[in-house]
Structure 1
Amino acid sequence: MPPFLLDDPTLDHAGTLLVLLRGAGLRVVTAESCTGGLVAASLTHHAGSSDVVEGGFVTYSNVMKTALLGVDSALLARHGAVSAEVAAAMADGALAHAPRTDIAVSITGIAGPGGGSAAKPVGLVWFATARRSGETVTLSRVFDGDRASVRQQAVAQALDLVGQRVRS
């Protein structure tokens, strides 16, 4: 399988999430950095996804995080792009820019192979989910594997987190 494609279990998971979102009458928006739009791609792979997927922001650079999502450049300078604070700001920004949306999910991380440090190793990914009717929740994971594997695992985790927020 080419490294840029999503595997069948991830696409199946996305399809299950669409059913859950549809049943709850909720819409979702994504804000992605290290996954480069793969979460949105996994959801929109399925016919009929437009009734629950509002869209997605791919904000790979800090400039785009600020320009498209309103992430404060001082926050980026203080905590770095791969942080709970920036993940939360990305999710909140996506929700603010998608007024018909109920849930936002954001992903920012270090997929590798370079770019890691002792404090922020390759494989570190921060996630946030924001609900219009509730708080913004963050979570970090450190995934093993090569770049494609880290990104694949991050997509699966993001889908899980959205599902958890729908159920809560």
Structure 2
Amino acid sequence: MALRPIIILPDKQLRLVSKPVTKVTDQIRKLADDMFETMYDAPGIGLAAIQVAQPLRLITMDLAKKDEEGEVNPQPRVFINPEIISSSEETSIYEEGCLSIPEYYEEVERPAKVRVRFTDLDGKVHEEDAEGLYATCIQHEIDHLNGVLFVDYLSKLKRDRVLKKFTKAAKRAED
């Protein structure tokens, strides 16, 4: 496993539409392992391959919750070629953040429930219903695969402010 650099806004790669994974190979499994290591190190709960400059339809996610004894129950998940096949009309609002837009959080309204179809690392296709944080996270990460960022759901004023802030920071880092 290896840590990979996470690309940060305003990097134009974040706007790429990722290509489908045609076959689950050892290279794809290694990418997923590297993505978990990178995601945990960041730390985050979800990571799309495009965020580590790999334009492939691959997501890692771990929505681990602490139980009553304070033990962490990790639930690492890999989603290959995920797609939302249905979503509820009912919506929910969660505060979202993004490893590619560090230290910026904003409330985003999305469908409260979705049904997602994806392939796992064994090449098996699954369909699952998602709600709560799981639904929000899977929608956020699938958006990445389509070149969409959570700030795209904000008002133009807020979105422009964020883009301006990160563009300035990128220019300072270059100088």
TM-score for both structures, normalised by structure 1: 0.29
- The structure carrying a bigger strand percent of its residues is 2
* Higher share in helix: 1
TM-score by length of 2: 0.28
Larger of the two Rg values belongs to structure: 2
